[in-house]
Amino acid sequence: MEAVHLKAVTFRHNTAKQPALTDISLTVRTGELVMLMGPSGSGKTTLLKLLKPEIAPFGELSGEISLLGEKRGGTAPRVGYVPQHPEESFVSDRVRGEIMFAPENAGLPPEEVRRLTAETVSRFGLGKLLERPLASLSGGEKQLVSLCAVMVMQPDLLLLDEPFSRLDPVTAENFADLILRVNREFGTTVIIAEHSGELMLAQAERLIYLENGRLTADLPPRQAAKNAQLIHIMPAAARAFAEQEPVPMTVKEGRALLEKLPHKTELPLDETQGYSEPVLEAEGLRFSFRRDSEDILAGADLVLHKGEFLALTGANGSGKTTLLKTLAGQLRPYAGKVRIGGRPLKKAPLTAAMLPQEAADLFLQPTVAEDYRYALKALGRPEEEASAMLGYLGCEKLADMHPYDLSGGELQLCALGRVLLCQPDILLLDEPSKGLDPLSARRLGTVLKKLCAEGKAVLTVTHSLEFAAENACTCGIFCGGRIESLLPAPKFFSKAGFYSTASGRIARGMVKNAYTVEKLRQAPEGSHA
């Protein structure tokens, strides 16, 4: 049976001149796992919402949509929609209320509501969370509750809008497994809108690619690697070995392939730059929220030099944000010293500024340009610098946008600009690449490298080893309250074992120093360096 059938669907938002979707025809069979991909603004979310009539955007629709065999407008089909940001979609104060919301509003008798809730809670292991306030949950738990609040109605078609954009890689992997289980074990048809194929693409049956509201590709993922337009959304293994047949999709397949291919055993290591002028030094930092609780920082040492791009990687909850706050002077360590430009924090001759994890928190005014002007006024500087800054970042077009209307990548850039307005010498960044599509992450990396070249020092904490490998000059692991293995990036990654990028893990033990996709591509014998 067909779960979704679209025939020549064109849709224009009420407020827009151009159609958001043009002439889309596609079919999804029941039980399929489909990835709906495309750059931001390509119409992924619009298409997804059209499949859920209750939240379909207002506008002009032509063509035919039928869901689970029913025409649009007929009886409500069993479609579940998991929105992008779980936090912004919560409608209750506790987990139980959130789960019960859908059945309570479906006019079911109380016994039935409680039975459905009990089923969901038992199946997804929510028992311990049930009475917790939603505000106290971690990011992964929030995403889980958001999924369960939809699964409670036992939908036949599940739509997910960028489910991984707010999660760290490890939590995202767990959540991906859960979605896969829903698809495999309940036979639910799943459509996921995503901008990166790193996580689910290997398991998906189909890839649908949208560009400017048009469907440009509808094919099995493995075939997509052959398409030069689609290669950037593929997992690392596929990007490294796109020419091979069959194209590997996972690290396991990549390793098997590399083993068979004649390959070099070592690649030349990039030269490392030496730095001389330290701007931020931390020595033996110890921090704890209470005297009797565990130390979050247990003697962390760190030196950041002028022009250096330092990336600290580390697991979730290891205290990376605490470290940044301590360096910024927001939290006071109970032992150890922070020196900026060789002086204590209070008398620092250099300015340090920080870009928080939730970049939207920086904006106080309704448009980007107004906010820049507001900040400049507060800093006592001429307002003309606002447009200069936007020009520097290449964001002139975004000047009159509302910060909440920006895409993830645009928001991150504009927020960076807002932080740069105070002319900092040291930039501290908290997870800048979280939830960014590959192109935006690259763009952000380029801007940051440019800033380093201009003599600023950048310290970023990140989950993403890929982001660190491609951009940073120096890397370290933050673990157990200390910074381990603080080395120049090439050395850091050449030593890495399984805590490495996907490319590094594919090459582990076979090709030395192949820790990025670019480098891994040079590994097979006969490829040009």
Residue in this structure with the two tokens 């990025």, named with its chain if needed: 516
- Choosing from 133, 187, 220, 246, the residue that interacts with other proteins (CB under 8 A) is 133
Asked if residue 274 binds other proteins (CB under 8 A), the reply is no
275 makes contact with other proteins (CB under 8 A): no
Signed CA dihedral, 356, 358, 362, 368: sign only: positive
CA–CA separation, 477 and 474 (whole Å): 11
User: How far is residue 209's CA from residue 217's CA, in Å, rounded to a whole number?
Assistant: 5
Closest to other proteins by CB, 18 vs 276, is 18
Our CB check for other proteins shows the closer of 358 and 518 to be 358
Which of 1, 8, 16, 91 is close enough to bind other proteins by CB under 8 A? 91
Q: Cα dihedral sign for 369, 373, 375, 379?
A: positive
Residue from 1, 8, 16, 55 touching other proteins (CB under 8 A): that is 55
The interface with other proteins within residues 313-332 (CB under 8 A) comprises 328, 330
Among 89, 250, 288, 522, the residue binding other proteins under the rule CB under 8 A is 89
CA distance 93 to 83: 18
Which CB atom, from 77 or from 248, has the smaller least distance to other proteins? Answer: 77
CB of 223 to other proteins, least distance (A): 33
For the segment 465-484, give every residue that binds other proteins (CB under 8 A). none
Tell me if 85 contacts other proteins by CB under 8 A: yes
Q: Which of 8, 118, 135, 256 contacts other proteins by CB under 8 A?
A: 135
With b for 16 or more beta-carbon neighbours within 10 A and e for fewer, the 491-503 pattern comes to bbbbebeeebbbb
Q: Is 369 helix (H, G, I), strand (E, B) or coil?
A: helix
CB neighbours of 139 closer than 8 A, spacing ≥ 6? 166, 167, 168, 171
Site for other proteins in 144-163 (CB under 8 A): 149-150, 153
- Quote the least distance from Cβ 40 to other proteins, whole Å: 18
Those residues whose C-beta lies under 8 Å from the C-beta of residue 34, and which sit 6 or more positions away, are 28, 189, 190, 191, 192, 204, 205, 206, 207, 208
Query: Count of CB atoms within 10 A of residue 400's CB?
Result: 10
The minimum distance between CB 176 and other proteins, in angstroms, equals 22
For other proteins, the binding residue among 108, 217, 219, 439 (CB under 8 A) is 108
Nearest approach, Cβ of residue 434 and other proteins (Å):
15
Report the residue from 97, 139, 284, 299 that binds other proteins according to the rule CB under 8 A.
Answer: 97
Closer residue to other proteins, CB minimum distance, 404 or 498: 404
Site membership for other proteins, residue 1 (CB under 8 A): no
CB of 230 or CB of 324, closer to other proteins: 324
Report the distance separating Cα 237 and Cα 245, nearest Å: 12
Conformational region of residue 375, where left means phi above 0, alpha means psi within -120 to 50, and beta covers everything else: alpha
Sequence-distant (6+) residues with CB within 8 A of 240 are: 254, 503, 506, 517, 520, 521, 523
Q: Report d(CA 487, CA 272) in Å as an integer.
A: 10
Strand, coil or helix: what is 180? helix
DSSP letters for 91-124:
-SSBHHHHHHHHHHTTT--HHHHHHHHHHHHHHH
Which 3 state secondary structure label does DSSP give 56? coil
Q: Among residues 23, 30, 31, 104, which is the contact residue for other proteins, using CB under 8 A?
A: 104
44/191 Cα distance (integer angstroms): 11
Q: Which stretch binds other proteins (CB under 8 A): 199-207, 225-233, 347-355, 443-451?
A: 347-355
Shortest distance in whole angstroms from residue 481 CB to other proteins? 22
Burial of 422 (0-12, 13-18, 19+ CB in 10 A): middle
Quote the least distance from Cβ 145 to other proteins, whole Å: 12
Minimum Å distance from CB 163 to other proteins? 15
219 versus 331: smaller Cβ distance to other proteins: 331
Residues contacting 5, CB < 8 A, separation 6+:
26, 27, 28, 64, 65, 66, 67
The first and second tokens of residue 36, run together, are: 């709906």
Question: Minimum distance between the CB of residue 424 and other proteins, rounded to whole angstroms?
Answer: 7
Which of 366, 382, 391, 509 is the binder for other proteins (CB under 8 A)? 366
Select the residue interacting with other proteins from 9, 134, 148, 190 (CB under 8 A): 134
Place of tokens 């912004």: 88
Whether the CA torsion 288, 290, 292, 294 is positive or negative: it is negative
- Phi/psi at 425 (5° precision): -90, -25
In angstroms, the CA 471 to CA 426 distance is 17
Member of 307, 356, 481, 488 binding other proteins (CB under 8 A): 356
Interface with other proteins (CB under 8 A), residue from 102, 172, 395, 452: 102
Our finding on whether 93 is near other proteins (CB under 8 A) is yes
Stretch that binds other proteins, among 50-58, 337-345, 387-395, 452-460 (CB under 8 A): 50-58
Binding characters for other proteins, 370-409, by CB under 8 A (x = yes): -----x--xx----------------------x-x-----
Smallest distance from the beta carbon of 88 to other proteins, in angstroms? 4
User: Given the complex with other proteins, which of 145 and 477 has the nearer CB atom?
Assistant: 145
Name the site residues for other proteins (rule: CB under 8 A): 15, 52, 54-55, 58, 76, 81, 83, 85, 87-94, 96-97, 100-111, 113-114, 117, 131, 133-135, 149-150, 153, 328, 330, 351, 353-356, 358, 360-364, 366, 375, 378-379, 402, 404, 418-419, 421-422, 424, 428
